[in-house]
Amino acid sequence: MDYISWPDPTFPREPAHALAFEGAGPHRLLIVPALFDEGNRLRRLTVEVQRRLAGRHTITSVLPDLPGCNESLAPLEAQDLASWRGAMEACTAHFGATHVLTFRGGALAAPRALPALHYAPVTGAAILRQMLRARLLSTREAGRTETRARLENLARTKGLDLNGYRIGARLFTDLEQAEPRGEAQDLPQSQIGGAALWLRAEPGESPEQADTLARAVAEWVEGSARP
């Protein structure tokens, strides 16, 4: 396991970072993480899948930060789906990736040129609904009154703070319409088994799910790589 740097064209002043696991085989997998709070809840699972792919299945994997997320110094408010996709395309080229694996909302930022597998993909509208619901609940508990319609109008014009994430107007409106690309292969949670970790209140782990997911990803990579 190594933390490595790569040049993010959306924020050239500072290098971007990625977590890499080197495998002995020829395949190189770019992993696009889940978005916002789901990314935090699935971080452990994501890394454990990387560890298994390198050790048991000889597949190299790279997990970059999306601009404005995790350790990235780029401002989140300045991002949109085009900048996220552009960064992932640059990362793909830099590391010579041959395949793409996405987690949940990461499917919306996946580069288009490579074979892709979407683990439990979700639309941008569904992500925003969850975040808006959490915002409304927190303000209600604080004794304030907000409406979803007002929040949506504010987000589309000026951006909005949702669950501690400052989402700009362009990203908000992009997510409202965003859907995972249709030509990718989907891997639903029902094929992995167990309760979805992104639904937990706190980050968690499941070695069994990591084993099953890594095996499914390895089978897909090997199968899609055959002529």
For residues 61 and 105, membership in a common domain is answered with: yes
pLDDT of residue 225: 61
Instruction: For the beta carbon of residue 223, count every other beta carbon within 10 angstroms.
Output: 10
Does 147 lie in the same domain as 81? no
pLDDT above 90 covers a percentage of the chain that reads 80
> Looking at the structure, do residues 165 and 62 belong to the same domain, yes or no?
no
pTM: 0.94
Residues 188 and 170 grouped into a single domain: no
Q: Smallest Cα–Cα separation from 86: which of 168, 11, 166, 188?
A: 11
Which CATH number do you get for residue 214?
Answer: 3.40.50.1820
* pLDDT higher than 90, residue 9: no
Q: What is the pLDDT averaged over residues 20-41? A: 96
| Count of the separate structural domains present in the chain | 2
Looking at the structure, tell me whether residues 103 and 193 fall in a common domain.
Answer: yes
189 shares its domain with 203: yes
Q: What is the pLDDT of residues 90-145, one digit of tens each?
A: 999 999 999 999 999 999 999 988 999 999 999 999 999 999 999 999 888 877 88
**pLDDT for residue 154:** 96
Say if residue 133 is in the same domain as residue 220. no
Same domain, 95 and 153: no
Closest CA to 122 of 179, 175, 43, 190: 179
Q: Are residues 95 and 42 in the same domain?
A: yes
**227 pLDDT higher than 70:** no
Domain housing 68: 2-122+182-225
Distance CA 198, CA 213 (A): 15
> Do 10 and 92 fall within a single domain?
yes
DSSP per position, 79-141: --HHHHHHHHHHHHHHHT--EEEEEGGGGGG--SSS-EEEES---HHHHHHHHHHHHHHHHHH
87 and 149 part of one domain? no
Check whether residue 140 and residue 30 sit in a common domain.
no
Q: How far is residue 208's CA from residue 211's CA, in Å, rounded to a whole number?
A: 5
- Alpha-carbon gap, residue 14 to 44, rounded angstroms: 26
Q: What is the mean pLDDT of residues 168-189?
A: 94
